[in-house]
Amino acid sequence: MASTLKITLKDGAVREAEQGATLRALAESISPGLARMAVAAKINGTLADLSAVLTEDAAVEFVLPEVGEGLEILRHSASHLMAQAVARLFPGTKFGIGPAIANGFYYDLDSEHVFTPDDLGAIENEMKRLAKEALPFTRREVSRAEALDFFHRRGEIYKEELINALPEDAVISLYTQGDFTDLCAGPHVPTTKCLQAFRLHSIAGAYWRGDEKNKMLQRIYGYAFAKTADLNAFLLKLEEAKRRDHRKLGQELDLFSLHDEGLGFPFFHPKGMILRNALEDFWRQEHVKRGYAEIRTPVILRRELWERSGHWDHYQENMYFTLIDGDDYAVKPMNCPGGMIMYKTKPRSYRDLPIRCGELGLVHRHELSGVLHGLLRVRAFTQDDAHIFMLPDQIKEEIIGVIDLVDYFYRTFGFDYEVELSTRPENSLGSDADWELATGALADALRAKGIAHKINPGDGAFYGPKIDFHVKDCLDRTWQCGTIQLDFQMPEKFDLTYTGEDGEKHRPVMIHRVIYGSLERFIALLTEQYAGAFPLWLAPVQARVLPIADRHNEYAAQVLSALTAAGIRAEVDGRREKLNYKIREAQTEKIPFTLVAGDAEAEEKSVAVRRYGRQESEKMSVADFAALAGAEIQAKKLPEQ
């Protein structure tokens, strides 16, 4: 006779269940609605299929599909559904891996058939047909030999390789839905009927296991959500993202261009340089206020420097090299070593510390052509680096100062952000004690500021842990921009010292930090955040004067002269075009203000002022407009959303 088990639910309630009862049966005993909605459950914190049985007293939490682990399970199940559809439509296809990813899933496929966008509709329709069949996902645990035999007989060479790579004591499980069986740890949704809101969207090439020495497979991507409404809302966001794409806007607004003659090396146009210089000027002003001194270090330095810093051993695959007078040199991928050479140019005392050195330094990194993406992923970019050299008892105060500065910058630009604390990676330098001290110092500063953050294990720099700031844009995407890295290793490797109160030599502690991250990436984010309609203080052209007829050109020139004298970036559109045409063009170019000048305005020394995105205009004197615009520029006012 089966014994009765005590099951503790998430809310603390305790229910009884028969030993051997499934999680689905437990859900039905609680609520038929819960049984319909749940896609999996956790038994004592471990995810399991609803078909799993209860064998002992346990804590059970049911997993719903809308968010978190439930959504990941649903998306992974959708990848299996797509693989089943492909197997039916394109027999002979061999399957690689099919994980859940952000917003959906993909599957890597080896097929003689070359998939095209036209195939996606047919595969998607087959997926919908299979979903309606409500095929159960059934788990079966097998021995290594049985799994290898199963996939070998089917010619699934990639599955065999995956099995052989598993640890000897690994539990090997197969999941079957209908006529399709896959190697998978699970869990999965109960049946294919749970998969209703998906869309296949693109095809790409992908080397097997990410190794360019392996065969190139075909990767099909899809989106998947718990509800059709969620999928539709996401697709609308994608359309909005296309409208805001910085590559498209960069060309339309004449900010920058990208060319085959320099893949990954962007060209900035005059208007783009105005935007870029405004960001640099703001950066300089705010750093001067906080006691930073600006420096500039060389772009190319000798190999010995990079060997000393550790980059030669830990970062060489991302660097560019050249020979000068028979010696090996490297183009700098980071500014840090140059900053340390600057520190060593003269003796330092404890009274000199902290020393805060900032650098808008051009760095180069070798990125594969396939990952280049507008200004977001380039091969040459300007990092707004700063290096702070300090006493050990200044660490917390300096980290808090940087956090405050990052927060001020992001609030100025209207960005929310998320924070991560990244800990020691595998290929790190230094002792356990140094790493514990450095990681603890960063965590203490975050706690002191009351900043919510998540831990990102093993993602620190090779020389120290770091705090990363992920900027959140208007489409709820996050982008890693700012970072604070605490470093005990570089001062040791470069033999940096200061004379302490005791007259002895001591080792300073070092902070590496950026705020923009890279100017190029930050410009891309700003362009997309504001869809090219930049805040007034950043707009390359802040006002355009539109004379109605040729006889108003002289007055328009007077307005332009007054605005320029007031520090406002303005221009005159004196073309012989209709006024409405010139207004529409100014709106298309997202000029913050258009100022119409006709007979009445010339007589009154006024202009008809129209803001970007509005239909109505307001007449005011040139002086009043200059004061209005000047105040908004000074305050760095954000556009009304």
Take residue 589 and report the two structure tokens written for it: 């170019």
Range of the domain at 123: 68-240
CATH number at residue 571: 3.40.50.800
- Tell me: do 186 and 235 sit in the same domain: yes
123 closest CA partner among 88, 93, 170, 95: 88
Is 383 catalytic? The answer is yes
- Tell me: do 521 and 373 sit in the same domain: yes
CA distance 310 to 488: 13
pLDDT of 268: 97
pLDDT of 3: 85
Domain termination residue (choose one: 63, 90, 113): 63
Is the separation of the CB atoms in 419 and 446 below 8 Å? Answer: yes
Domain termination residue (choose one: 63, 88, 105): 63
Residue entry with tokens 């079966």: 140
User: Bridge partners of 323?
Assistant: 328
The vertex-470 CA angle with 464 and 472, nearest 5°, equals: 175
CA distance 244 to 473: 11
- Tell me: do 59 and 85 sit in the same domain: no
Give the distance from CA 519 to its chain's centroid.
15
AA letter at 618:
E
Is residue 326 a part of any domain in this protein?
no
Prior bond to 535 cis, omega within 30?
no
| From 246, 387, 590, 610, active-site residue | 387
103 closest CA partner among 245, 233, 243, 247: 233
Is residue 254 a part of any domain in this protein?
no
Q: Is 54 helix (H, G, I), strand (E, B) or coil?
A: coil
- Tell me: do 53 and 196 sit in the same domain: no
CA distance 446 to 396: 9
- Tell me: do 48 and 81 sit in the same domain: no
C-alpha count within 13 angstroms, C-beta hemisphere, residue 291: 11
* β strands within 297-427, DSSP E: 300-302, 320-324, 327-331, 355-364, 380-390, 416-422
| From 184, 194, 336, 357, active-site residue | 336
| From 365, 513, 569, 590, active-site residue | 365
Is residue 412 a part of any domain in this protein?
yes
CA distance 389 to 111: 56
pLDDT of 427: 77
442 closest CA partner among 486, 389, 388: 486
Is 366 catalytic? The answer is no
Is 387 catalytic? The answer is yes
DSSP string of 277-333, one letter each residue: HHHHHHHHHHHHHTT-EE----SEEEHHHHHHHTHHHHSGGG-EEEEETTEEEEE-S
265 closest CA partner among 377, 383, 384: 377
CATH number at residue 26: 3.10.20.30
- Tell me: do 415 and 453 sit in the same domain: yes
Q: Would you say the C-alpha torsion 398, 403, 407, 410 has a positive or negative sign?
A: positive
- Tell me: do 559 and 607 sit in the same domain: yes
Is residue 371 a part of any domain in this protein?
yes
Is residue 186 a part of any domain in this protein?
yes
| From 384, 385, 468, 473, active-site residue | 385
Domain termination residue (choose one: 28, 45, 63): 63
CA distance 269 to 558: 28
User: Bridge partners of 6?
Assistant: 16
Is the separation of the CB atoms in 86 and 107 below 8 Å? Answer: yes
Is residue 460 a part of any domain in this protein?
yes
- Tell me: do 201 and 272 sit in the same domain: no
pLDDT of 641: 55
Sites in the chain below the pLDDT cut of 50? none
b/e map 172-209, b = 16+ CB within 10 Å:
bbbbbbeebbbbbebbbbbbbebbbbbbbbebeebebb
- Tell me: do 390 and 506 sit in the same domain: yes
CA distance 285 to 384: 13
The vertex-598 CA angle with 594 and 599, nearest 5°, equals: 160
Is 512 catalytic? The answer is yes
AA letter at 1:
M
* β strands within 365-440, DSSP E: 380-390, 416-422
Q: Where are the alpha helices (DSSP H) in 346-452?
A: 395-412, 432-449
Is residue 35 a part of any domain in this protein?
yes
CA distance 98 to 569: 52
Prior bond to 91 cis, omega within 30?
no
Is the separation of the CB atoms in 297 and 342 below 8 Å? Answer: yes
Q: Is 420 left (phi over 0), alpha (psi -120 to 50) or beta?
A: beta
484 closest CA partner among 550, 417, 427, 530: 417
pLDDT of 461: 80
CA distance 77 to 196: 11
pLDDT of 2: 64
* β strands within 518-569, DSSP E: 543-547
Compute CA distances 121 → 113, 199, 378, whole Å: 16, 9, 34
CA distance 205 to 387: 40
| From 244, 466, 521, 590, active-site residue | 466
546 closest CA partner among 504, 516, 585: 585
Helix H or strand E segment including 509: strand 509-514
Is the separation of the CB atoms in 4 and 19 below 8 Å? Answer: yes
- Give residue-wise pLDDT tens across range 348-399: 999 999 999 999 999 999 998 888 899 999 999 999 999 999 999 999 999 9
Longest dimension (CA), the chain: 103
CA distance 141 to 151: 14
CA distance 312 to 315: 6
Is 615 catalytic? The answer is no
pLDDT of 608: 97
- Tell me: do 73 and 59 sit in the same domain: no
Count: domains in the chain: 4
Question: Sheet harboring 327-331: ordered strands across?
Answer: 300-302, 327-331, 320-324
- Tell me: do 475 and 607 sit in the same domain: no
AA letter at 183:
L
Is residue 53 a part of any domain in this protein?
yes
Could you tell me the end-to-end alpha-carbon distance of the chain, in angstroms, rounded to an integer?
A: 67
Residues in the chain: 641
- Tell me: do 508 and 550 sit in the same domain: no
| From 383, 485, 489, 542, active-site residue | 383
